[in-house]
A and B are shown apart, each in its own frame.
Chain A
Amino acid sequence: MSNKVLEVRNLTKEYEGFKLDNISFSLDKGYIMGFIGENGAGKTTTIKLIMNLLKRDEGEIKIFGKDNIEHEREIKERIGFVYDECFYYENLSIKDNEKIISGFYKKWDSKVFDSYLKKFNLNKKQKVKELSKGMKMKFAIASALSHDAEFLILDEPASGLDPVMRRNILDVLQEVIQDENVGILVSSHIISDLEKISDYITYIQRGKIIFSKATSDLMEEYKVVKGDKSLLSKLDKKVIYGLRETPYGFEGIIKDIHIDKSIRQKIVSEKPSLEEIMVAMNKGVRK
Chain B
Amino acid sequence: MWKMAMRDLRGILNLYNNRNGLIMIVVVIFLGITNKGNGLFSYFLLMGGIISIAFTEMESRDKIHISILSSPCKRSDYVLGKFLSTIIWIVAITIIGLLLSNLIYMIYPVENLKLPISIVKGSISYILIFVALYHCVYFSLGIKFARIFYFIIFFVIMAGILTIGEFLKGEPLPSWLSSIERFLVLFQSNTVASNIILVMLVLAVLALIATISVVIYEKKDF
Contact = CB atoms under 8 A, between A and B. Distances in A.
A104 B62 contact: no
Interface residues on B, range: 20 to 34
A51 B69 contact: yes
Contacts of B59: 89
B64 A89 contact: yes
Interface stretch (A27-35, A91-99, A109-117, A242-250): A91-99
Contacts of B58: 89, 91
A52 B218 CA distance: 10
Nearest to B61: A90
B71 interface: yes
Given A73-B72, A91-B15, A53 B66 contact: yes
Interface string A37-69: 000000000001001111100000000000000
B7 A103 contact: yes
B10 A87 contact: no
B74 interface: yes
A87 B62 contact: yes
A104 B3 contact: yes
Contact of A55 (B7, B61, B72, B221): B221
B222 interface: yes
Q: Which secondary structure dominates where chain B touches chain A?
A: helix
A231 interface: no
A76 B222 contact: no
Contact of B64 (A54, A87, A104): A87
Given A52-B69, A103-B6, A103-B7, A87 B63 contact: yes
Contacts of A88: 62, 64, 67
B70 interface: yes
Given A87-B63, A92-B15, A51 B7 contact: no
B72 A85 contact: no
A182 B25 CA distance: 50
A100 B10 contact: yes
Contact of A54 (B61, B63, B72, B222): B222
A55 B68 CA distance: 16
Contacts of A104: 3, 7, 68, 71-73
B14 interface: yes
Given A103-B3, A104-B72, A92 B222 contact: no
A89 B11 contact: yes
B207 to A, nearest CB: 23
A90 B62 contact: yes
A171 interface: no
B111 to A, nearest CB: 41
A210 B219 CA distance: 30
Given A103-B3, A105-B72, A83 B62 contact: no
A51 B70 contact: yes
Contacts of B68: 104
A101 interface: yes
Nearest to B14: A96
A29 B185 CA distance: 66
Interface in B1-19: 3, 6-7, 10-11, 14-15
Contacts of A77: 72
A55 B10 CA distance: 30
B23 to A, nearest CB: 16
B87 to A, nearest CB: 19
A270 interface: no
B214 to A, nearest CB: 15
B82 to A, nearest CB: 14
A50 B179 CA distance: 52
Contacts of B67: 81, 87-88, 101
Given A53-B222, A104-B3, A81 B70 contact: yes
A54 B221 contact: yes
Contact of A105 (B69, B71, B222): B71
Contacts of A256: none
A221 interface: no
A53 B221 contact: yes
Interface in B44-87: 58-59, 61-74
B14 A92 contact: yes
Given A53-B66, A87-B63, 19 more contacts: A53-B69, A53-B221, A54-B221, A54-B222, A76-B72, A76-B73, A81-B70, A85-B63, A88-B62, A88-B67, A89-B59, A91-B58, A96-B14, A101-B67, A103-B6, A103-B10, A104-B71, A104-B73, A105-B71
9 contacts: A53-B70, A72-B72, A73-B74, A76-B72, A83-B66, A87-B62, A87-B66, A89-B11, A105-B71
Which 10 pairs from chain A and chain B are nearest by CB? A87-B67, A104-B71, A76-B72, A87-B66, A53-B222, A73-B72, A77-B72, A54-B221, A81-B70, A87-B63
